Amino acid sequence: MAFDIDMIKKVYANFGSRVEAARKVVGRPLTLSEKILYAHLWDGNPTKAFSRGSDYVDFAPDRVAMQDATAQMALLQFMQAGRPKVAVPSSVHCDHLITAKEGAAIDLPHARTESKEVFDFLSSVSNKYGIGFWKPGAGIIHQVVLENYAFPGGMMIGTDSHTVNAGGLGMVAIGVGGADACDVMAGLPWELKFPKLIGVKLTGKLNGWTSAKDVILKVAGILTVKGGTGAIVEYFGDGATSMSCTGKGTICNMGAEVGATTSTFGYDDSMERYLRATGREEVADLANGIREHLTGDSEVYADPEKYFDQLIEINLDELEPYLNGPFTPDLATPISKMREEAERNGWPLKIEVGLIGSCTNSSYEDISRAVSVARQVSAKGLKTKAQYCINPGSEQIRYTIERDGFLDVLDNIGATVFTNACGPCIGMWDRVGAEKQEKNTIVHSFNRNFAKRADGNPNTYAFVGSPELVTAMAIAGDLGFNPITDTLTNEQGEQVKLDPPAGDELPTRGFAVEDAGYQAPAADGSSVEVIVSPTSHRLQLLDPFAAWEGTDLKGLKLLIKAKGKCTTDHISMAGPWLKFRGHLDNISNNMLIGAVNYFNDKTDTVKNQLTGEYGPVPATQRDYKASGLGSIVVGDENYGEGSSREHAAMEPRHLGVRAVLVKSFARIHETNLKKQGMLALTFADKDDYDKIHEDDVIDIIGLTEFAPDRSLTLVLNHADGSSEQISVNHSYNAQQIEWFKAGGALNIIRKQAAANA
d(CA 182, CA 272): 32
Q: Just list the catalytic residues.
A: 95-96, 160, 448, 643, 645
d(CA 413, CA 610): 58
Q: Three-class SS of residue 573?
A: coil
Residue 538's alpha-carbon distances to 115, 314, 582, 599, 656, in angstroms, are: 9, 47, 6, 34, 22
d(CA 559, CA 73): 25
Q: Three-class SS of residue 294?
A: coil
Residues 6+ apart with CB under 8 A from 755: none
Q: Are 390 and 369 in contact (CB under 8 A)?
A: no
Q: Look up residue 690 and give its DSSP letter.
A: G
Q: Three-class SS of residue 662?
A: strand
d(CA 551, CA 733): 19
Angle at 642 between CA 638 and CA 644, to 5 degrees: 115
Which residues on neighbouring strands pair with residue 660, listed in sequence order? 633, 680
d(CA 677, CA 542): 15
Q: How many C-beta atoms surround the C-beta of residue 623 within 10 A?
A: 17
List, as one string, the DSSP characters of 611-628: TS-EE-HHHHHHHHHHTT
d(CA 453, CA 460): 9
Of 181, 89, 121, 75, nearest to 520 by C-alpha is 89
Of 210, 221, 252, 228, nearest to 324 by C-alpha is 221
